[in-house]
Amino acid sequence: MITVTDAVRSTLLEDDIGLQAAQAGVLNLSAYAERILPAVEQATHKDVKKGTVVVALARITEQVSGLPSLRPDVILDDLSIKFPLCSATFRKTALTRQKLASLHQAVPISENAFFTLTQSISEITIIAPQSLFEEIFKHFEEPPVAIYKDRVAITVRFAEAYLAIPNILYTLQATLAVHRINFTEVVSTYTEFSFIIAKQDLETASLAMQKLLR
């Protein structure tokens, strides 16, 4: 049987904003208890008093106050912007896999160009300079299942030391997410992380990321 404390803890830990407020000591326990009361009652399968939830919250808040922040501090080494780009996704078939293997021979791609490809279980996504996509489409022969034009890549680079710290990528994503910026794609390598976004979001996204630079 799930206890009230277990239900409250689970609810709080799954609520990023509530958890950060609790860790910062600014969570209004009474208001938050009222908000999560229906979820607690559903989890415990019984009627629960608001005061009981407040008491559980007070105890749990003391416990989480010593946990590392969900958004650890991160200082970026570099930030670069590439545009205009196009993102296209093809079905992963015998033909598209064959065409993928010969893509670099068929379509010259500059060493300095932003170019990524991702193979998943059933799809292949290519992100490349928009000027190359007529040639890429012609090379693949099969039509893509999705196309996003006028994309921008914001690429950030960070120190290797951050790789051992949980939630670094979450911090980077949250920096843009608070501005309601949608990511068409995200691409990561060892110490680089790229967000593929719409051109109209470029100014807002770049200003947000610049605050993390050295």
Give pLDDT, residue 66: 76
User: Do β-strands 185-188 and 192-198 pair in parallel, antiparallel, or remain unpaired?
Assistant: antiparallel
Element containing residue 140 per DSSP (H, E):
helix 133-140
Whether domain 78-210 has CATH 3.90.1560.10: no
- How many Å apart are CA 165 and CA 58, to the nearest integer? 28
Domain-wise residue ranges, the chain: 4-64, 78-210
- The per-residue pLDDT of the chain, averaged, comes to 91
Which tens digit of pLDDT belongs to each residue from 166-204?
889 989 999 998 899 999 999 999 999 999 999 999 999
Reading the block at residue 101, the tokens are 């293997």
The answer to whether 81 and 202 are in contact (CB under 8 A) is yes
Q: What is the DSSP string of 69-138?
A: PSS----BSEEEEEEEEEEEEEE--HHHHHHHHTHHHHS---TTS--EEEE-SSEEEEEEEGGGHHHHHH
Residue 118 CB contacts under 8 Å (≥ 6 apart), including other chains: 124, 125, 185, 187
Confidence of residue 152 (pLDDT cuts 50, 70, 90): very high
Query: Of 57-71, 112-126, 157-171, which range is least confident?
Result: 57-71
- Identify the band that residue 17 occupies on the pLDDT scale cut at 50, 70 and 90: confident
* Spatial distance between the Cα atoms of 92 and 121, rounded to a whole number of angstroms: 8
Measured CA to CA, the distance from residue 63 to residue 123 in angstroms comes to 44
Q: What is the pTM of this model?
A: 0.78
pLDDT in tens, 78-114: 999 999 999 999 999 999 999 999 998 999 888 889 9
Q: How far apart are the first and last CA of the chain?
A: 50
Question: Which single residue is written with the structure tokens 């890549």?
Answer: 153
pLDDT confidence band for 31 (50 / 70 / 90): very high
